[in-house]
Amino acid sequence: MIVEPLHLSRCSINTATLGHREPIGVTIDRIAKAGFGGLAPWRHEVEAAGVSKIARQIRALELKVSGYCRSTYFPAPTREARLANIQSNVRALNDAAELGAECFVMVVGGLPEGNRDLPAARTQVQDGIGALLEAARKLGVRLAIEPLHPMYAGERSVINTLDQANALARELDPHNDGFLGIAVDVYHCWWDARLDALLSSTGKDNRIYAYHVSDWLVPTTDLLLDRGMMGDGVIDLQGFRQRVEHAGYAGMVEVEIFSRDNWWKRPPDEVLQTCAARLQSVC
Amino acid sequence: MIVEPLHLSRCSINTATLGHREPIGVTIDRIAKAGFGGLAPWRHEVEAAGVSKIARQIRALELKVSGYCRSTYFPAPTREARLANIQSNVRALNDAAELGAECFVMVVGGLPEGNRDLPAARTQVQDGIGALLEAARKLGVRLAIEPLHPMYAGERSVINTLDQANALARELDPHNDGFLGIAVDVYHCWWDARLDALLSSTGKDNRIYAYHVSDWLVPTTDLLLDRGMMGDGVIDLQGFRQRVEHAGYAGMVEVEIFSRDNWWKRPPDEVLQTCAARLQSVC
């Protein structure tokens, strides 16, 4: 298997990888200094610092924004609450536009509290994304549906496979006018036996807007906060990137690691150096 | 939605639900006394007590064996080790026959240590089940492939969806001669957006050999040992049973709960009484 080595200019750091321990401005400087070509910031930190200020800093450092994290969850018990969620997402789209983000990352939400109706929650997600799509077109921001691992179906996302995300994108945007696609995260999709067919199908449609890497640790001690550094787990990362690129993706490779007890305890520059080394050796 | 209430005679207790804290003989007596129609014992406890003795006890109490747990994992680094795994499974099949088990539950195994090649591990599983099928036919024991939740793809099972299990069963046994089917466990499959189609397809083929219940807790604090009691989580259990029965399944409903910090700490009879109550109210 031959995959082209990754140049850091094609690599991006999702700021969650550093554990949100420092002001976003400091984090952005560290990422630029370490030689990465881009970053993916989170809404709460950008809003706290002021979007215009952060956008200026990112432009001055000539960084790309591989994605803006992330949507407010769509499902909710009442129509009013669902409309409020959509409005929240429209506000975030404005900021994503100002940041020049490659896409707005859509983590769609799980079952509303006390509810067991997965099909209904999925319909609410579809309606919510449908309602957001017009604003996305107007603002020129691409929406990237990120399927989350099935272990998050209860509380974080009722979209759990590339298959579902593909079907949703095609249903809402059958002509693929360029504003509704998929964010592919290896952590969520690596186990899928239909991966080849699904990636190839998403890619032919030119709907892969983002590609995220980390690793699946064995054992995994926490459902949310125990992701591994690339190379420390069991995912065939080079094979995965080969498939994503074969499917037509030529964008950034973004590192997104939630690791409460390991990487979030290490000095930020050590984390960035390790990411850089692993991106260039095992990804 | 109308589902027939469950009579306990149709209900079975997987002995893991009681945490394997007492000798299997004591556990069997408790299960019978609580009014359940069957049980699913584990290999290590049956072998420790002696299979003939346990088989006599089960017959005397007129209990059914809804499944025998479980296969030795198939994937291994060497051909020799893979053959040894198959031989181990043949020995278990003899015991399953003596116990009169409805099926031998096949948890197929994850990636061999230090290996990241999922497709290769899946091929090893297919080869292993194929090699076991002839022995199963001769002994009259049905093999039930149990797809495990995708979060177990690294270490426990590279078969992670009903879709995969169906495809495997059809590939190895295209004429469906009655010895290769599927064990459906709500915990592993509840999130699947294709559930309706997949269950209905498995059922039409008459390949559902077992149906296991528990619940998905929000939050879930451990990937393996934090399953919920039916009704305490987010799975639509009545809707699930309705689909399984609509697909043609008329066998037992087996409770299988791994719960280190909750149910495994409670008195066994309290656990059994709770199972009985929940089976008859929310399942």
Q: Tell me, what CATH number does A264's domain have?
A: 3.20.20.150
Q: How confident is the model at residue A251 (pLDDT cuts 50, 70, 90)?
A: very high
Alpha-carbon A79 to chain mean position: 27
Question: For position B1, what pLDDT does the model report?
Answer: 57
Q: Which residue of A has its CA nearest to B118?
A: A191
Which has the closest alpha carbon to A73: A64, A86, A63, A60?
A: A86
Residue B2 has pLDDT above 80, yes or no: no
- The DSSP output letter for B111 is P
The 10 Å CB-count burial string (b at 16+, else e) for A183-193 is bbbbbbbbbbb
Across B19-28, average pLDDT: 98
The pLDDT assigned to B26 comes to 98
Residue type at position A242: Q
pLDDT over threshold 60, residue B175: yes
Contact across the interface for B122 and A161, Cβ inside 8 Å: no
Q: A3-7, A202-206, B216-220: which has the minimum mean pLDDT?
A: A202-206
Cβ contact B145:B172 at 8 Å = no
Share of chain B above pLDDT 90, in %: 95
Across the range A88-102, mean pLDDT stands at 98
Residue A225's closest chain B neighbor by CA? B221
Distance, CA of B96 to chain centre: 13
Q: Which of B116, B123, B171, B283 to mutate to test the interface with A (most CBs of A within 10 A)?
A: B116
Is the pLDDT reported for residue A207 higher than 70?
Answer: yes
User: For residue B198, is it within any domain?
Assistant: yes
Distance CA A49, CA B205 (A): 59
pLDDT value at B119 more than 80 = yes
> Which residues does chain B have within 8 Å of residue A223's beta carbon, measured at their own beta carbons?
151, 219-220, 223
CA distance B233 to chain A (A): 9
Residue A211 belongs to some domain of the structure: yes
The angle formed by the CA atoms of residues A236, A241 and A247, to the nearest 5 degrees, is: 130
By Cβ distance, the residue of B192, B223, B236 closest to A117 is: B236
Looking at residue B204, what is its pLDDT? Answer: 81
Residues linked to residue A65 through DSSP beta bridges, in sequence order: A39
Q: Please compute the mean of the pLDDT values over residues A120-137 and round it to a whole number.
A: 98
∠ CA B238-A223-A127 to the nearest 5 degrees?
Answer: 60
- The neighbouring-strand residues paired with B254 are B12, B212
Q: Is residue A213 part of a domain?
A: yes
- A79 sits in the region (left: phi over 0; alpha: psi -120 to 50; else beta) called alpha
Mean predicted confidence (pLDDT) in B257-266? 98
H or E element, residue A197: helix A195-204
CA distance A231 to B249: 44
What pLDDT, on the 0 to 100 scale, is given for residue A175? Answer: 95
Residue A208 is assigned to a structural domain of this protein: yes
Query: Out of B110, B122, B191, whose CB is closest to A150?
Result: B191
- The per-residue pLDDT for B137 is 98
Mean pLDDT estimate for chain A: 97
Mark yes or no for CB contact A234/B149 under 8 Å.
Answer: no
pLDDT of residue B240: 97
Q: What are phi and psi of B63, to 5 degrees?
A: -90, 150
Query: Do the Cβ atoms of B236 and A118 come within 8 Å?
Result: yes
Nearest CA in chain B to A187: B151
Tell if the CB–CB gap between B192 and A150 is shorter than 8 Å. yes
DSSP β-bridge partners for residue B210: B183
> Is position B99 within any domain?
yes
Q: Which member of A116, A223, A239 has the closest CB to residue B234? A: A116
User: Residue B106: beta bridge partners?
Assistant: B145
Q: Which residue, B59, B145, B57, is CA-closest to B100?
A: B59
Radius of gyration of chain A measured on its C-alpha atoms:
18
The whole-angstrom distance between A234's CA and the closest CA on chain B is 5
pLDDT at A4: 84
pLDDT-based confidence at residue B3 (cuts at 50, 70, 90): confident
| A112: in domain | yes
Looking at residues B66-79, what average pLDDT do you find? 97
Mean pLDDT of the A206-211 span:
96
Residue B28: what pLDDT?
Answer: 98
Residues B151, A151: C-beta atoms closer than 8 Å: yes
- In a domain? residue B134: yes
Q: Residues of B at the A interface (Cβ-Cβ below 8 Å)? A: 110-111, 115-118, 122, 149-151, 153-155, 160-161, 163-164, 190-194, 216, 218-220, 223, 233-236, 239
CB contact under 8 A, A218 and B122: no
Residues A153, B269: Cα–Cα separation, whole Å: 32
From the list B118, B154, B218, the residue facing A155 with the nearest CB is B218
How high is the pLDDT of residue B91? Answer: 98
| Cβ-based contacts of B122 with chain A (< 8 Å) | 193
Among all residues of chain B, which has the CA nearest to that of A120? B193
- Contact yes or no for A236 and B118 at CB 8 A: yes
Looking at residue A1, its pLDDT comes to 57
CA distance B27 to chain A (A): 31
Question: Mean pLDDT across the stretch B219-248?
Answer: 97
B191: chain A residues, CB-CB within 8 Å = 118, 150, 153, 160
Q: Is the pLDDT of residue A202 over 90?
A: no
Rounded CA gap, B145 and B180, in Å?
8
Within a domain: B2:
no
State whether A150 and B155 contact (CB < 8 Å). Answer: no
Q: Kindly report whether the peptide bond that precedes residue B41 is cis, defined as omega within 30 degrees of 0.
A: no
Q: Per residue in A24-66, pLDDT tens?
A: 999 999 999 999 999 999 999 999 999 999 999 999 999 999 9
* CB spacing of A150 vs B220 below 8 angstroms: no
- Rounded Cα distance between A170 and A201, Å, is 11
User: Between A and B, how many residue pairs show a Cβ–Cβ distance under 8 A?
Assistant: 84
Q: Note whether B161 and B198 are within 8 A (CB).
A: yes
Q: Which among A150, A190, A239 is the nearest to B149, CB-wise? A: A150
Domain range enclosing A165: 8-281
Query: What total of structural domains would you count in chain A?
Result: 1
Question: In B, which residues are within 8 Å of A162 by CB distance?
Answer: none
Collect all residues of chain B within an 8 Å Cβ-Cβ radius of residue A233. Answer: 154
